[in-house]
Amino acid sequence: MQNFLEVRLWGAVIAVQAALPFVRQSITLSGGAGMLRPTPGFTTAATALGAIEAFTRAAASELAPIRVNAVFPGLVRSPLWRGLPADEQEAFFAEAATTIPVGRVGVPEEIAQAFTHLMTSRYTTGQALVIDGGATIGAR
């Protein structure tokens, strides 16, 4: 647990501190939507990701007028899955898609759009934007 917290939470905190002398307008952090509906065995990750959300809000308050936001992606079809054979990847994504209200997993470009929005929206700060096709609402 400690290692995951060090990498995810303290990595974000240290990165923000190191960037402050160079940042004028916006900081956008990255988390993960899994914190909203954690599954067994995901306690450490959910805790760290929830802490990133709290840090985002606290930093937005403390660092204003610098805007601080975070993107929390759900399941995304990306090179991170290349360790699985292609047929297993497809089976995994197909099964996962049955539980996501939009009926599919995300693609990296959709997550990039969320980052771009938060970095350029001059009236948005302290927000945690979940991009998961509705998976965390569990409506499917």
CATH code reported for the domain at 2-137? 3.40.50.720
Can you give the pLDDT at residue 2? 74
Can you give the pLDDT at residue 44? 87
pLDDT band at 38 (very low <50, low <70, confident <90, very high): confident
Can you give the pLDDT at residue 140? 60
Would you say residue 37 has pLDDT above 90? no
Q: What is the mean pLDDT of residues 69-90?
A: 95
CA dihedral 117, 33, 45, 139 (to 10 degrees): 170
pLDDT band at 53 (very low <50, low <70, confident <90, very high): very high
Would you say residue 139 has pLDDT above 70? no
Domain spans, the chain: 2-137
pLDDT band at 105 (very low <50, low <70, confident <90, very high): very high
What percent of the chain is predicted at pLDDT more than 90?
81
**100 CB contacts (<8 Å, ≥6 apart)?**
74, 75, 132, 133, 134, 135, 140
Residues 89-102 pLDDT 10s: 999 999 999 999 99
Alpha-carbon distance 52 to 13, whole Å?
Answer: 9
